[in-house]
Amino acid sequence: MAPVPPGVRLLVSFDRDQWYRALTFILTFLLYTSFHLSRKPISIVKSELHKNCSAVSEAAIIASSSSQQPSLLSLHTDVDCGWKPFDKSNYKQLLGAMDYSFLCAYAIGMYLSGIIGERLPIRLYLTVGMLASGVFTCLFGLGYIYNIHNLSFYIFVQVANGLVQTAGWPSVVTCIGNWFGKGRRGLIMGLWNSHTSVGNILGSLIAGYWVSSNWGMSFIVPGLIIIIMGVVCFLFLIEPVRWSGYGYRSLLCSLPQSYDTELLLPRESERIPMQPVVVVKSESEPSAISFMGALRIPGVVEFSLCLLFAKLVSYTFLFWLPLYITKAAHLDAKKAGDLSTLFDVGGIVGGVLAGVISDKLGKRATTCAVMLLLAAPTLYGFSMISEFGLGPMIGMLLVCGGLVNGPYALITTAVSADLGTHKSLKGNARALSTVTAIIDGTGSVGAALGPLLAGLLSAGGWDQVFYMLMTADFLALLVRPLTCII
């Protein structure tokens, strides 16, 4: 048999590279969708944890003015007013503390996660993180099954879950970031980053289905899903191989020898045993970048600070929007959760649009600046229009979702990938995970502060929450001009 021509060998290699690129895109999309799917239930269940408080309090006032025996109603209030310990008037502060415990642990863990991720096999690191996250998500739901009313239990579960979930983002960004060139990276990663909104939508629908009958299942089902996806990750995720000076090589290099790779080798009339491929490198493989070395990459500090304020806004909506809708539109928990998914639909469109525009202009920071500038007045409009019924609220949810999540999506994906492969690194491909962790870790500080502040400020009225969100948008805009050239 005649040898395979070099052109055919190149074509086979190209086709297989394309296939694995598509596989990596789809698989990492599904993996991180499950992460966000497991984060969403808490925002849906909040309105169930205190569902009777307002109604019972109003009934108590009426009864106290018309009855001489309010003590019986007071006893009923203590027993039936929501789920202890969230059945008191300070429930917003307690719920805010739960959000803060998860997000604070996530922010702290993220700084360490990127450094660890550069030094361990990504597939195993991501798998362990997903399995552990699924266990802790299920554990929160078991609090309902076993009638647990201890606040410390829920805080512990949130802290532990926040820490293990940090394995997700640096890992998936590292897997996909080096597969696509910078020219179309905004579009590709804008589409890919829609997994956050897809996960939020699915999480809302799943949690909403169970919330009124058994809110424990609102956590257990997403927890089981992320466990299953962790197994899928272990079985199917093939890591790209680091190759000094050229970034990440084809997944072909990491396939077991039993795979069909004979077409890449010369074949004569007799069968030739397959041999391992040996890559000769002109220089030693570079070591993983240090934390301080990553901070010195131009733009990392500025974009990290910008994401801090942008993510503050996004995560406040993520954790508090369903509760706000129940109050503003007078809807039950399930309907409010379903309506809140429109914000995520707008986020999908905004993320893709931001990626396309930034690709065309070649200016990631300018694109973010325009969207942040438009977001602040839009938030004010949303707070006003919400009082005029569901129609205007639906429209504003879509617009706000696009303008709020557009910059957030662009910074956490395309910008992180650009900086992680910055020319100052001179081809060292082992910086992407650390850079991603620094940027997203700093952003997670804002994500922790936003829901906490919302819980504190909402006690004085929702207007104060929206003023806080508008201020955060303007602050994100202030740090943006430092990096407009990127």
Domain residue spans of the chain: 14-50+83-239+291-479
Are 230 and 127 in contact by the 8 Å Cβ rule? The answer is yes
Residue 288 per-residue DSSP state: P
pLDDT higher than 70, residue 261: no
Give 337-352 pLDDT, tens digit per residue.
888 899 999 999 989 9
pLDDT higher than 90, residue 114: no
For 284, the 3-state DSSP assignment is coil
Nearest to 440 by CA among 420, 423, 426: 420
Say what the pLDDT of residue 262 is: 34
pLDDT higher than 90, residue 404: yes
Instruction: Report the distance separating Cα 474 and Cα 383, nearest Å.
Output: 17
- Percent of the chain surpassing pLDDT 70: 74
Q: Cα dist. 451→211, 299, 315, 344, 466 in Å?
A: 21, 27, 7, 17, 12
CATH topology of domain 14-50+83-239+291-479: Growth Hormone; Chain: A; (1.20.1250)
pLDDT higher than 90, residue 31: yes
Are 348 and 190 in contact by the 8 Å Cβ rule? The answer is no
Instruction: Report the distance separating Cα 1 and Cα 273, nearest Å.
Output: 15
pLDDT higher than 50, residue 70: no
Give 368-399 pLDDT, tens digit per residue.
999 999 999 999 998 888 667 788 888 999 99
Are 101 and 178 in contact by the 8 Å Cβ rule? The answer is no
Give 190-228 pLDDT, tens digit per residue.
889 899 889 999 999 999 899 888 999 999 999 999 999
Instruction: Report the distance separating Cα 469 and Cα 454, nearest Å.
Output: 9
Are 459 and 322 in contact by the 8 Å Cβ rule? The answer is no
- Is the omega angle on the peptide bond into residue 266 within 30 degrees of 0, that is, cis? no
CA dihedral 282, 284, 290, 293 (to 10 degrees): -30
pLDDT classification of 156: cutoffs 50, 70, 90: very high
Q: Determine how many CB atoms are found less than 10 A away from the CB of residue 301.
A: 18
In sequence order, what DSSP letters do the residues of 429-482 get, joined into one string?
-TTHHHHHHHHHHHHHHHHHHHHHHHHHHGGG-HHHHHHHHHHHHHHHHHHGGG
